[in-house]
Structure 1
Amino acid sequence: MADESRTHRAGVFDVRLVIALLMGVYGLVITIMGLGFTTDEEIAQSAGVNINLWAGVGMLVFAALFVVWTRLRPIRVPEEPQGEE
């Protein structure tokens, strides 16, 4: 019975890490666009707010929260499928 309760962490195969990676990459690109490639005319069109910068920072924060969530509450996967003898 002790073997039935043995588990390990999902690790890289956790879907939350995939989501965090995608959001982090998109957030980084949008943040760079907001910092270096947004013109004053584009900022004026968006009511004086650098939307690319703030959306990118928001996406980076979202990705960081997903990574923290993954570290604090890892998904546990059984080492061997149950039912096979």
Structure 2
Amino acid sequence: MADNDRSRQGARAPRKTAGAFDIRNIIGLLLGIYGVLLLLAGLFMDPDKDKTGGINANLWTGLALAVASAVFLGWARLRPIVVPEHVEPAETDPTRPGPTRRGGSH
């Protein structure tokens, strides 16, 4: 009864999100690490512009990776994946790949 009263009043239960296990956070973190390393390499190491047509490839690639990292992390922060509280167990389905459940003993 209390749940119905709460839903009628418009109060929301706290949502559970994927948090750190959201794949966008993992991808954003990896892109950010590589981006920072390349930015540092572009700033402090010899740019060797002869091989890259006169541009500092480490600097620009690091900058692009840092921006991509910010996009992924911002996306995950602004639109988090909401994990449902209860999921019904999957029934035996002949079209579902994988092992099937057997009835009785074997």
More helix by share: 1
For structure 1, the residue ranges without an aligned partner over 5 or more in a row are none
Q: Deviations over 1:45-69 (max 9, x none)?
A: 2111000000000000000000110
Give the share of equivalent positions with the same residue, in percent: 40
1:21 and 2:23 aligned = no
Match of 1:52 in 2: 58
- Within 2, Cα distance between the matches of 1:11 and 1:82? 22
Shift of 1:43: 0.9
* 2:16 corresponds to which of 8, 15, 18: 8
More strand by share: 1
Alignment coverage as a number of residue pairs: 77
Q: Deviations over 1:14-51 (max 9, x none)?
A: 01000001000011001100100124xx1122111000
**Amino acid in structure 2 at the alignment position of 1:79:** E
Q: Secondary structure at the match of 2:25?
A: helix
Shift of 1:71: 1.2
For structure 2, the residue ranges without an aligned partner over 5 or more in a row are 4-12, 90-106
Q: Which has the higher contact order (CA 8 A, sep 6+)?
A: 1
- Within 2, Cα distance between the matches of 1:62 and 1:38? 25
Tell me which structure has the larger Cα radius of gyration.
2
Q: Secondary structure at the match of 1:78?
A: coil
State the 4+ residue runs in structure 1 displaced beyond 4 angstroms. none
